[in-house]
Amino acid sequence: MKATRFWMCALTGVASLWPVSFAWGEAKWVDLFNGKDLAGWKALDPAQNEWRAAVAVKPDPAEETRFTMTDGEGVLVNGPRGSTSNIYTEHEHGDCELHVEFVVPKGSNSGVYLMGFYEIQVLDSYGKKEVEYSDCGGIYGQWTEEKGTFNGRPPMVNASRQPGEWQSFDVIFRAPRFDEQGKKIENARFVRVMHNGQLVHQQVELLGPTRASLPGPEKPLGPLMLQGDHGPVAYRNIRVRPLKDAGGVAWFNGRDLTGWRPVKADRNDWRVAGEVRMDPEDNRKLVITDGEGLLCNGAAGKTGHLVSEREHGDAHIYVEFLVPAGSNSGIYLMGKYELQILDSFGKKEMTYVDCGAVYARYEASRGEFEGHAPAVNASRPPGQWQTYEIAFRAPRFDKDGKKVENARLLRVLHNGLLIHENLELTGPTRAPTPGPERPRGPLLLQGDHGPVAFRNFYICDLSD
């Protein structure tokens, strides 16, 4: 039996319980710093290693860009000059959850490298209004001599505290995957990064190592590395725990419709695109640009439904979607239970037809019944990307195939806000795939109600 772990986090100002990962086992935390010395750590340049333990650090009142240190235990600091070698752990990790706390004085700079390859930036970015990839919480860019720095990702918000105050990163990380010949078949991914309790990254694919990473090729396991040569920094409470299948598996490859099929072969305008945006001349339509990464339902925005070849049972599902003004779609879990997609931006009174709602069931004799409105309207303006995060429990059946327990939405977040919790689904919603309920089923994307685009389908099937 798989046990669920929850953590407290702040999402768009709301504290909510949410599963931290897809590894719902009982893995233990590993403390990477013992508080006393550098046991378990190595210096990239042993001849230039000034890292040491301290009991406290604080900005120097005579020079605010430097620290004063108090001898003792508990804090790891990069020496009196604040410029020394990078250090990395003897312990290696793959998929993991990381917690680390840090502090910098005014203007200082450091970084935390997952697997020694993928940097989350540490910087004094307090009060900065427009943040870049080089700011605190940013994912630093890759680098080549020809291109310079590229593919950096700024944090979604500036969560930085004042210099001299302790801060934290909480990270869910998915390591790259390799085939039996050692060829990389899936990039690493920051599933979620929280900076001081605020969401700064979600499902960010890492196309390769960021600048100034450890030498050598990407691999399945690697150490944690702390940058020590860019200015004074101190760390504490550095701990990691292994996860299994962190972040789930991508069900859409971004390149073609492999793994998906139309419900009706003669009604299939679904296509892959590189970009979609709301048409400036008609805000009820989308302008589609060729390329890769997005899935949309064609130029007309009205085609048949699309169903996955894979099936799921209990699952944690993450997906991003976009609709223009007035448009409508839906995601059917197991092909049976619809989570509604609609342009509901600004609506005050929500019903079961609005975005985030669980659509109604239907019988000819009764019409529509048992729809469930979302707890809040979390909708963004049309033309903006939105997210669903879904924790789903499939229906249960006895050995004779009789249903003995209804399906449930354990939790649904829409753009980070809780909209459903422990909601029992007494039966399929309107217009499901044909046939009775069963232990497993596909995802179905509604394509005939208006323009819609999807990206970043990540699903962890927890019933395997």
Given 242, 277, 312, the domain boundary residue is 242
DSSP track, 121-159 = EEE--TT-SS--TTSTT-BPPEEETTTEEES-B--SS--
Q: Are 96 and 240 in contact (CB under 8 A)?
A: yes
Residues 210 and 348 in one domain: no
- Interatomic CA distance for residues 157 and 137, integer angstroms: 9
Looking at the structure, tell me whether residues 232 and 335 fall in a common domain: no
Segment 358-404, tens digit of pLDDT: 999 999 999 999 999 999 999 999 999 999 999 999 999 999 999 99
What's the per-residue H, E or C state across 363-412?
A: ECCCEEECCECCCCCCCCCCCCCEEEEEEEECCEECCCCCEEECEEEEEE
Asked which of 209-213, 245-249, 337-341 is least confident by mean pLDDT, the reply is 245-249
Percent of the chain residues topping a pLDDT of 90: 89
Torsion of CA 408, 411, 412, 418, to 10 degrees: 140
Count the alpha carbons within 13 Å of 78 in the hemisphere toward its beta carbon: 30
Phi then psi for residue 259, to 5 deg, are: 90, 0
- 3-state SS of 228-295? CCCCCCEEEEEEEEECCCCCCEECCCCCCCCCEEECCCCCCCCEEEEEEEEECCEEEEEEEEEEEEEE
> For residues 251 and 448, what is the distance between their CA atoms, to the nearest angstrom?
21
pLDDT of residue 161: 98
Task: Indicate whether 363 and 384 sit together in one domain.
Answer: yes
In which band, very low, low, confident or very high, does the pLDDT at 195 lie, cut at 50, 70 and 90?
Answer: very high
Specify whether 189 is located in the same domain as 312: no
**Residue 6 — pLDDT band, cuts 50, 70, 90?**
very low
Domain identity same for 229 and 253? no
DSSP sequence for 52-83: EEEEEEEEETTEEEEEEEEEEEEEEE-TTTS-
Same domain for 414 and 346:
yes
End residue of a domain, out of 242, 260, 290: 242
Specify whether 213 is located in the same domain as 304: no
What's the whole-number average pLDDT of the chain?
Answer: 92
| Tally of domains in the chain | 2
Given this model, what pLDDT does residue 246 score?
80
- In tens, the pLDDT along 81-92 reads 999 999 999 999
pLDDT for 26 equals 52
pLDDT tens by residue, 122-179: 999 999 999 999 999 999 999 999 999 999 999 999 999 999 999 999 999 999 999 9
Residues 255 and 163 in one domain: no
Give the closest residue to 253 by CA, choosing from 170, 310, 329.
310
59 within 8 A of 231, measured Cβ to Cβ: no
Last-in-domain residue among 242, 269, 290? 242
pLDDT class of 444 with cuts at 50, 70, 90: very high
Compute the CA torsion angle 164, 118, 196, 10 (nearest 10 deg). 170
Please tell me the distance from the alpha carbon of residue 386 to that of residue 323, in angstroms, as a whole number.
9
Residue 204 burial (CB < 10 Å; 0-12/13-18/19+)?
A: middle
Q: What is the pLDDT of residues 312-340, one digit of tens each?
A: 999 999 999 999 999 999 999 999 999 99
Residues whose CB falls within 8 Å of the CB of residue 183, separated by 6 or more in sequence, listed in order: none
Local confidence band at 249 (pLDDT 50, 70, 90 cut-offs):
confident
Is residue 337, in this structure, part of any structural domain at all?
A: yes
What confidence tier does 18 reach under pLDDT thresholds 50, 70, 90? very low
355 and 318 in one domain?
Answer: yes
What is the full DSSP assignment across 185-223? EE-EEEEEEEETTEEEEEEEEE-SPPTT--SS---S-EE
| Model pLDDT for residues 34-65, shown as the tens digit of each residue | 999 999 999 999 999 999 999 999 999 999 99
Torsion of CA 156, 159, 160, 162, to 10 degrees: 150
CATH assignment of the domain containing 364:
2.60.120.560
- Is 134:148 a contact under the CB 8 Å cutoff? no
Range of the domain at 402: 249-461
Residue 171 near residue 238 (C-beta atoms within 8 A): no
In a domain, 1, yes or no: no
Residue 336 is given by DSSP the state: T
Nearest to residue 248, comparing CAs of 176, 174, 179, 339?
174
Whether residues 313 and 238 share a domain: the answer is: no
Whether residues 323 and 402 share a domain: the answer is yes
Same-domain pairing of 260 and 353: yes
Q: Is the residue at 34 inside a domain?
A: yes
Alpha carbon 431 to its chain centroid, in Å, reads 30
Strand-pair category, 41-43 with 87-93:
antiparallel
Phi-psi category of 40—alpha, beta or left, where left has phi over 0 and alpha has psi -120 to 50?
A: left
